[in-house]
Structures are given as structure tokens and as C-alpha cells.
Homo-oligomer: A and B are copies of this chain.
Amino acid sequence: MRQKDGPGNLESQRRPRVVVVGAGFGGVNAAQNLSNLDADILMVDRRNYHLFQPLLYQVATAGVAPSDIAYPVRAIFRRQKNFDFLLAQVNGVDLEQRKLLTSRGAVDYDYLILSIGGETNFFGLDSVQENGFDLKDIDDAENIRNHVLLMFEKARHEEDEEICRALRTFVIVGGGPTGVETAGSISELIRLVLVKDFPDLDVGEVRVILLEMTEELLPGFPPDLSEKAVNTLRRKRVEVRLKETVTGYDGESISLKSGDSILANTLIWAAGVRAEKLVDSMEVQKGKQERVVVEETLQVPGHPEVYVIGDAAFMEHDGQPLPMVAPVAIQQAKTAAKNIRNTLEGRPLEKFVYKDPGSLATIGRSAAVARIGRFKFHGFIAWIVWLAVHLFWLIGFRNRLFVLIDWAWDYILYERAVRLITSHPKSEQHDLNLVEREDKR
């Protein structure tokens, strides 16, 4: 079948083409906001699904299945007539020629919205990058799940006490929401769920450690909520260590700036993010975290046809860079879409103004901290708000239903159903490491 509007043959088209890179919160919302425009919208992503990143740590801790927080892009846009999708890796942008360079060839654009998100920043700590885990996509999350469960399987039949201690020590680096949520969730996975799988397990010998470089958790939250988070985590038996900086990790021992070291076979790095690597190839001005500096209209200076939104865009708000969170991406998507419409219809462009909806972080069962406008709260009510907000923003009724059932399962029965060790690239490697110890017997 001959395709009439593949990415290759723009020549034959008259309508302008808006290319949206990235199927995250920014990209999806931008494309949706362009639904009635007399233009062709082409979304490009290397994944065929939208990922609900805020719940990724629950995949990593065996709470929900990957398919419950992922939703096919084509299903989201089924009813949008001017939409098409290209599954491809984006390798660069030719700003002068207005071409997106992808693994499936060059794609011409009239307008470009880059909503490419962020990636983990290891700040040059190669040993941590090599031997630790990070948590940006489904593979990362499944790798962590596989690895954590594998540590307990290994420890079960291990007689060397020191080896056992390292197998049962889980270190999370970074006191932002991801680090806090992951630490709380791993601790509960072990103390409430795995303890039933391993009746001989002494939970007193399991350590979950959260390391934070600064003096407080959850930067950006009001100080009293940060303190509440520390207390709640400690009550959930997470060792919170502030003002600790990691300098290296060989897979066995974590070196700290203080001179201390921690024996642990698991390090999860949640201590840094930066704009996605694609920006490195672009000759544009960058701000902190390699984010692309944009005009107040979200355009790239000198390239009014190019918009950058979300984690990859640099813009200040109250003297601080905008946080790398979904609400920023969603609001910017709206402004970028509107400005493309304004341009096509000859109207002046709008400036982006961020409306901070507040901050939320959960710390496990019945515990969360929340700031909404001027209101601050914590504990059970904050947790209910957290649940409701996350269910609301999930795409698709089935995903909401499945996540809700899994949450109920966990809450009522202390069960996490997805305790599966599957074979994924990184974990496979660990799998084969299943110690060869015949000589010792």
C-alpha cells in the first residue's frame, strides 16, 4: 500500500506540518491542543507508548505492572484526524534546514515542539552509572525490581554473613520525590511483603538507606514538610543520612565524601536529572542541567518555529528554574500549541506564566506530604490526595482500574503481585552472576 503522507514526501503537502518530539506529558498535551488546527501533526518517539512516570517507582517495587502505567500513543490519538505517529529514534535537529534527523530518515517540519524530557545525571560518576541503577523508563524500573528480588533469592542460600549483609543493603541516593518515594516503597516491600516469602528473614538485618547531599529532603517543599518526610521514613525503618555525598561505587562498596563507605549490592541513583542528550547536539544556549534556554513564548531564540517545553526547557520562575515536573510540561504544552495557532492565524504570541499547583510526595502506606497553594498537610489525608491526583492523571480507564485494584491489594492484603524476576538486559547480567560456589561445598 502506498502511504500518502509518510514523513518522506512533504513536497506534495500544502498544510503546515507540526512535528512533536516526545510522547510524555508535554508532547501528548501539545498534540491534543493542536487537534482542531488545519495542520498535520506528526509525533515522533522511540517508544510507542506514553509513560506515566510518577508511578514508575511502583513498577520498580513490584506494586504495579509496566502495562498499567503505559498507554499506546495511537490509542490516545485515535479520534484526532490530523495526527500521525512515527516510531523512531531522534538523532538530531537541523535547525537551518528545518529537518528532524531520525533513525528512519529526515523529517521536514514547519513547526517543531521538542518535548524530549530529561535523563539521569550522574555528574560524571562513571562507576555509579556502570554499577548502579537509575529510574527513568520501564526497563530501568523492571531492572530494579528484578535486582531487588534477586538479592533476597541469593541471600536465602548464602552462608557468608558479610556477603549477606551487602545483599540485604539497599541504598537510594537523592532526597527528591523519586528518592523518597522509592526508599519508602522498597522498605515496605521488604518489611511487609517479602518477609512473608522468606519466613527465616530477619528484617532487622535488612538496611534501606537514603543518602542526601544537602541538609534536607524534598527541596522545594516547606521545611516542616521536609522534616515530616524524614520522620516518616525513619519510622518506616529507612536510615536517612543527610549531608552525605557519594563519590564512587564498584557494585560492592559505596564510597562517601565523608570518608565512610557502605557495603551494598544495590545503589539506586535518584540524585540528578538533566535535559535529554539530544540537546547536546544542538547549537543553542543552555541553562542549568543542560536545559535549552527559551523565550517567554517558549520559542528557541533565533528559531521562532521551534518550541522547547517541559524538562528540556530552561526558564526561571520566582528566580528559580522551573521544576522538572509534569504540571510544567502540561502547561507549557498548552502555551506552545496556542502560540503555533496564533502564528498561523496572525495573532500575537502569548507569554508562558507558570501556575504552581503545589507539590505532592508519598512516603508509603497512609503517608504523604502535600502543599497545595498555601495549604500544607501530611499523613493520611495527603496520601488520599496523592492517590486521587495520580489516578486522575493516569490515561485510560483500564489502567486506572488495574492500578486501583493493585493498590487495594497492597493496602488490604499487604501483597505486591508483580514480584517477578524477568530477564531484562541489565538484570540478565546479574542473573548469570548467580554465584558459582560448587567448590565451597
Contact = CB atoms under 8 A, between A and B. Distances in A.
Interface of A: 1-4, 6-9, 47-49, 65-68, 70, 72, 74-75, 78, 84-89, 101, 103-106, 138-139, 149-150, 153-159, 161, 164, 196-198, 200-202, 205, 396, 398-399, 401-402, 405-406, 409, 415, 417-425, 428, 432, 434-438, 440-441
Given A420-B67, A421-B87, A197 B72 contact: yes
B423 A425 contact: yes
A409 B196 CA distance: 33
Contacts of A409: 398
A333 B330 CA distance: 56
Given A48-B153, A422-B139, A438 B106 contact: yes
A104 B435 contact: yes
| Count of chain copies | 2
A149 B105 contact: no
Contact of A3 (B75, B103, B156): B156
Contacts of A78: 196-197
A154 B66 CA distance: 24
A436 B65 contact: no
Given A8-B157, A70-B420, A74-B197, 20 more contacts: A1-B164, A1-B200, A1-B201, A1-B202, A3-B157, A3-B158, A9-B159, A67-B417, A74-B419, A75-B197, A78-B196, A85-B153, A87-B153, A87-B421, A105-B441, A139-B422, A396-B417, A398-B405, A402-B402, A425-B428
B421 A48 contact: yes
A84 B200 CA distance: 11
16 contacts: A1-B161, A1-B205, A3-B156, A8-B440, A47-B421, A48-B419, A49-B421, A66-B422, A70-B420, A72-B419, A78-B197, A87-B150, A87-B154, A105-B436, A105-B440, A106-B438
A380 B315 CA distance: 60
A150 to B, nearest CB: 7
